[in-house]
Amino acid sequence: VNGRRFPTGVAAAILAAAVLAVLPFFLTDTHQYRFAFVATFFIAALGLQILTGYAGQISLGQGGFMLVGAYVTTILSVDHGWNDLATIPLAGLITGAVGFLFGFPALRLRGVYLALATFAIPIVLIALAKADWASKYTGGVGGKALPHVLSGHEAYIRTWPIAGGMFVLAWLLLRGKLGRSFRTIRESEIAAVSSGINLALTKTLAFGISAFYAGVAGSLYAIVIGFVNPDTFAVGLSLLLLIGVVVGGLGSLVGVVAGALFIEYVPLYAPDILRWVEKPLGSPLDPERAGAPAAVYGFILLLVLYAFPTGIAGLLRRAYKSLAGSSYTQRRAEYPSALPKKEKA
């Protein structure tokens, strides 16, 4: 059954990799720099997709975990002379361990209650990074500058290969037994336990893997920005990442790309969009008014969720279906078991 959908996926992945490889030739340095941000959001959102989209555990704490990775990289490269790229695996592993530990209290909570508990992750970690005893290492509220300033191109070629690797890793993790366990937990915990899945281990593992992704993303985030302070990782970042995953489409790894692009580009161009909308309307909207860009952002978000609740991935899937047309229907009749899972909002 897997074999049937496998070639399309691989073809799409190869195409995406090819596009990403030639993209730098066509993008200005500023856009390459923005794409480096897209890459870091992509990695963090991939982790969140595994946790929320696959294992069904809502988290509002992904941005908080990014803080851990960012500080591991900053402290090692600024104070201990490490090469910044060499710190990435360690940043991922340390953050993964923190996430794994957080998974234990999370075992007792579900749904909205879990979401509220994870809300505390960025708040607590920011407070810790600002604390007196930690300031010696973190630089406190004032933050710390990293040794290098990257050009847009340098940032691009450092982030996207890693993002690609993380994508393949996610795909490999999810296609086997672990992915199946995650999905079973998402659908029914009772069914999962009765079919022999170790609930506690699987859930904490999902948190650990998700945090590992956040750690790698946070580390790259610090390298790309060249400066880290605790408030960079405020609750808003975690919310953006969750929104990115939902906009991209829950349960779709490919959709995460769209989500990451959304996180980076929509707020950036919101004032321009407002100006553009304003012209024909002659409305009194003031593009420079505080909060106006946020309103555009919110409106687009609602529109996306309202028009295609299964996210951009769902939209693409639907488009593919109607293009594939009759042959798809035929296949459906021949192989009822190959039916794609019913899309969930």
Partner 1 sequence: MRMRFGVLAAAFAAAAAVCVTALAGAQAPGVTAHTIVIGGTFPLSGPASSYAPIPVGMKVYFTHVNASRGSDHKRGIHGRQIVWKYYDDGYSPPNTVQQTRKLVEEDHVFALFGGLGTEPQQAVTGYLNQKKVPQVFVSTGATEFGTGQTAHPWTIGWQPDYVAEGTIYGKYAAANWPTKKIGVIYQNDDYGNDYLTGLKKGLGAKSSNIITTQGFAVTDTSVAQQVAAIRASGADVIAIFATPAKTIQTYATMKALRYRPEQVILNSVSATDTFMKAALANADAATVDGSISTAYLMDPKNPKYANTPGMKLYKAQMAKWAPQADLNNGLYLYGFAKAWDVAKALSLAGKNPTRTKLMKIVRHMSWTNPLAIPGVKEKTTPGDPFPISQLKLIRFTAATGLWTEFGSLINGRSGT
Q: Which has the closest alpha carbon to 157: 105, 108, 85, 90?
A: 85
Q: Rule CB under 8 A: is residue 30 a binding residue for partner 1?
A: yes
* CB of residue 265 to partner 1, shortest distance in Å: 11
User: Which pairs count as long-range contacts for 182-185, CB under 8 Å and 24+ apart, including other chains?
Assistant: 182/50, 182/54, 182/55, 182/56, 182/206, 183/54, 183/55, 185/55, 185/56
DSSP assignments along 261-278, one per residue = HHHHHHHHHHHHHHHHHH
CA 315/CA 309 separation, integer angstroms = 9
List, in order, residues 6 or more apart from 223 with CB less than 8 Å away: 73, 84, 85, 146, 148, 150, 155, 158
Residue 119 CB neighbour total at 10 angstroms = 17
Residue in 89, 111, 142, 298 binding partner 1, rule: CB under 8 A: 142
* CB of residue 328 to partner 1, shortest distance in Å: 34
Q: Rule CB under 8 A: is residue 19 a binding residue for partner 1?
A: no
Q: Rule CB under 8 A: is residue 33 a binding residue for partner 1?
A: yes
Q: Rule CB under 8 A: is residue 68 a binding residue for partner 1?
A: no
Residue in 49, 232, 252, 310 binding partner 1, rule: CB under 8 A: 232
Q: Rule CB under 8 A: is residue 234 a binding residue for partner 1?
A: yes
Q: Rule CB under 8 A: is residue 69 a binding residue for partner 1?
A: no
Kindly state the tokens that stand for 301: 């978000």
Q: Rule CB under 8 A: is residue 64 a binding residue for partner 1?
A: no
Q: Indicate the residue among 185 and 243 with the shorter CB distance to partner 1.
A: 243
Per DSSP, the three-state class of 28 is coil
Between 249 and 268, how does the x/- string for binding to partner 1 read (CB under 8 A)? -------------------x
Residue in 12, 14, 19, 127 binding partner 1, rule: CB under 8 A: 127
Q: Indicate the residue among 102 and 233 with the shorter CB distance to partner 1.
A: 233
Contact 59, 213 (CB under 8 A): no
- Give the chain's end-to-end CA distance (angstroms, integer): 24
CA 48/CA 238 separation, integer angstroms = 10
Torsion (CA) 221, 237, 313, 110 in degrees, nearest 10: 120
List, in order, residues 6 or more apart from 159 with CB less than 8 Å away: 35, 36, 39, 40, 220, 224
Q: Indicate the residue among 30 and 198 with the shorter CB distance to partner 1.
A: 30
Q: Indicate the residue among 34 and 186 with the shorter CB distance to partner 1.
A: 34
Residue 334 CB neighbour total at 10 angstroms = 8
Contact 212, 96 (CB under 8 A): yes
Q: Rule CB under 8 A: is residue 227 a binding residue for partner 1?
A: yes
Q: Rule CB under 8 A: is residue 226 a binding residue for partner 1?
A: yes
Q: Rule CB under 8 A: is residue 14 a binding residue for partner 1?
A: no
Q: Rule CB under 8 A: is residue 288 a binding residue for partner 1?
A: yes
* CB of residue 228 to partner 1, shortest distance in Å: 8
Size (the chain), residues:
345
Q: Per CB under 8 A, which region of 98-106, 161-169, 212-220, 228-236 contacts partner 1? A: 228-236
Q: Per CB under 8 A, which region of 105-113, 224-232, 301-309, 311-319 contacts partner 1? A: 224-232
* CB of residue 109 to partner 1, shortest distance in Å: 24
Q: Rule CB under 8 A: is residue 167 a binding residue for partner 1?
A: no
Q: Where on the chain is the footprint of partner 1 (CB under 8 A)?
A: 25, 28-30, 33-34, 37, 126-127, 130-132, 140-143, 145, 149, 152, 221, 225-229, 231-232, 234, 268, 271, 288-291, 293-294
